[in-house]
Structure 1
Amino acid sequence: MSGEGGSPWFRAEPVPEQPPEPHDRYAPYEPQEWYDPEGYRRDWYGQQPQPSYVPGPGPVPQGGYVPAPEPYAPAQEPYVPAQEPRAAYVPPPAPVPDEETVALPTEETREAASTVPEQSTGGRAERRRAAKGRGRRRAAPATAAPPTRPAGTPMSRAEARRAARSQKDSPAVIASRVFGELFITIGVLMLLFVTYQLWWTNILAGQQANAATNKIQDDWAKGRAPGAFEPGQGFAIMHIPKLDVVVPIAEGIDKHQVLDRGMVGHYAEGALKTAMPSDKQGNFAVAGHRNTHGEPFRYINRLTPGDPIVVETRDAYYTYEMASILPQTAPSNVGVIGPVPPGSGFTEPGRYITLTTCTPEFTSTYRMIVWGKMVDERPRSKGKPDALVG
């Protein structure tokens, strides 16, 4: 047989080969026929092959179904296989809870965050594995804990060296520590020195001055003749009633033997030698500390003209009245202790007294000078002068 109604085993004209349909990897498995069904239907039943269909272009929306294709139209061109297989339904990804936005995360929120599967882009086997793993709890990654050493286990030599190096301080830390301790030590020493100068020297000098006053009074009570006074030997007592000062007067102005011991020193050496109170004419000049070491002349700047200054000796009381003051002068100005001191207001020789001390306070840059003039000489047998009785 031949022609349209002939047997398919004895066809005279060759059957045109049809390109195979594209394989849909998401479609269920169907067994393939071993013969050509299209040719069979055309040969036996005179049916024409179905037109080919080309899916319309356009992306498949994620999270929904693929839209239905346009109505079929007969293919005008030879069969063209689809370039891309039709995508099946892809479920939208589940929302992943953000632990940073959860104020107080609970066990449920952590479990939900750990069980969210990743979007699968593979085949059917991968989707099955992902679906099976959704109900399981994902194990948290274990963080490696530092190895702990059992108690009593000795360290190796390398570990011991590392531990010793970790305990050592860097050179910068050691240097800063040394400088800090040095500054603290210097500060403490300076504080102790200031305390010694401003407080302890006054206490020590007061004790020494009181001892010298008692010795002078004991010598007077025993009737010893004064004779020539040696350097550092006390021979008189000065009273300044306005300042409540009672201080012994020693021979010389040596700093360590006289002034630092809380006493007042008499200028009696070389070119600086001055008269004694008992002399009929001259200037009796003395020096004393204004600060520290008893500071007997600290407030002599408060004296005003007419204030009494009394010098007590073995035989008499000599009373002077303050006359003038020179607030500041150079230490080299030795004319202030001359017989007639310039700037004192005295114009002729007489019986004067001069008090000298350092200024400003707590320095020795300049000298302050106070002058006085004798107004009374009273023997001890007549008692104390009026300036000491009131």
Structure 2
Amino acid sequence: MRIPVVHHAALRRRAVRHRFVRSGGELLVTVGVVLMLLVVHQLWWTNREAREGAERKVRALEREWGGPEGPSGSGDIGAWATSDAVNGTAGTPPQRRHAVAARPGRSQAYAVLAVPRLSLRAPVAEGVSKTGVLDKGYVGHYPGTAQPGRAGNFAVAGHRNTHGEPFRHLDRLRPGDSVVVETRSTTYTYVVDQVLPRTSAADGGVIAPVPRSRVSPSHGYDRRGHYLTLTTCTPQFTSRYRLVVWGVLASARPR
């Protein structure tokens, strides 16, 4: 009878291969779970956290504006106050005096942007930094552009995906839709006039005082006015291009 020969070296190599395959499989499963958790955190948790924070800020602003001090109070943000010395309106009837808005501080929320078609109400804060403004679910005001209701271009940005994604459905806006900007003293209503579906992220012309795309010059304006510019990333889940919506001021009424 032939006695079988056991090749221990071959068995060891086979065992090593099996351990390697098993360990590799476990590692891949672990990596997959971690990546899935990261996706869940990015797409769900950051949205929930930022959206709830933005909603709290909107309620806080509305409480502050409706407080006993009223529109001329000296709250923490951009208080709207009448100043005879600044305006040179001494002796002018109060109803004809112009309110002067204090400049909002960096990353400070001072207005509320509402878009009825999108069922959106979001705080507007000064600046477009990610950590200080956009990642909080806020809409960010581009520094150097006009303030709400003022001549020029009131230009803002917001996330389209993650972190509250206030501008996720910005592409649904159509000419004639209204966009309302509420401040401590005044409610401004803009009417959507033009939509630029895609332009370069470096197309600074879209937020110029007289906005006109440098990439697509057929989109934009050629005369001074009171404009609103809404910008966000496109396509969704990328930041390669920008989607731009322009509006023009239709009305302004005291709160």
* TM-score when normalising by structure 2: 0.79
Structure 1 runs not aligned, ≥5 long: 1-161, 381-390
Partner of 1:123: none
Is residue 210 of structure 1 aligned with residue 55 of structure 2? Answer: yes
Which of the residues 189, 200, 225 maps onto 1:330? 200
Q: How does 1:1-390 map to 2 (within 5 A)?
A: 170-222=15-67, 223=69, 224-225=73-74, 226=79, 227-268=102-143, 273-279=144-150, 281-342=151-212, 343-380=218-255
1:198 is paired with a residue of what secondary structure?
A: helix
Query: What is the rounded CA distance, in whole Å, between the counterparts of 2:183 and 2:243 in structure 1?
Result: 26
1:248 is paired with a residue of what secondary structure?
A: strand
Q: Return the letter of the residue paired with 1:277.
A: P
Is contact 2:47–2:165 with CA below 8 Å preserved after alignment? Answer: yes
Query: What is the rounded CA distance, in whole Å, between the counterparts of 2:63 and 2:178 in structure 1?
Result: 26
Q: Return the letter of the residue paired with 2:122.
A: V
Structure index of larger Rg: 1
Percent sequence identity over matched residues? Answer: 46
Is contact 1:344–1:371 with CA below 8 Å preserved after alignment? Answer: no
1:297 is paired with a residue of what secondary structure?
A: coil
Superposition deviation, residue 167 in structure 1: 11
Structure 2 runs not aligned, ≥5 long: 1-7, 80-101, 213-217
* TM-score when normalising by structure 1: 0.52
Q: Report the aligned-residue RMSD.
A: 1.8
Query: What is the rounded CA distance, in whole Å, between the counterparts of 1:360 and 1:377 in structure 2?
Result: 34
Q: How many residues align?
A: 211
Query: What is the rounded CA distance, in whole Å, between the counterparts of 1:216 and 1:335 in structure 2?
Result: 32
Is contact 2:210–2:223 with CA below 8 Å preserved after alignment? Answer: yes
Query: What is the rounded CA distance, in whole Å, between the counterparts of 1:326 and 1:278 in structure 2?
Result: 22
Query: What is the rounded CA distance, in whole Å, between the counterparts of 1:238 and 1:195 in structure 2?
Result: 28
Runs of 4+, deviation exceeding 6 Å: 166-169
2:196 is paired with a residue of what secondary structure?
A: strand
Query: What is the rounded CA distance, in whole Å, between the counterparts of 1:290 and 1:345 in structure 2?
Result: 22
Bigger relative CO (Cα 8 Å, ≥ 6 apart):
2
1:346 is paired with a residue of what secondary structure?
A: coil
Query: What is the rounded CA distance, in whole Å, between the counterparts of 2:51 and 2:105 in structure 1?
Result: 22
Greater strand proportion: 2
Is contact 1:231–1:251 with CA below 8 Å preserved after alignment? Answer: yes
Partner of 2:94: none
- Deviation string 1:95-121 (CA, Å, 9 cap, x unpaired) is xxxxxxxxxxxxxxxxxxxxxxxxxxx
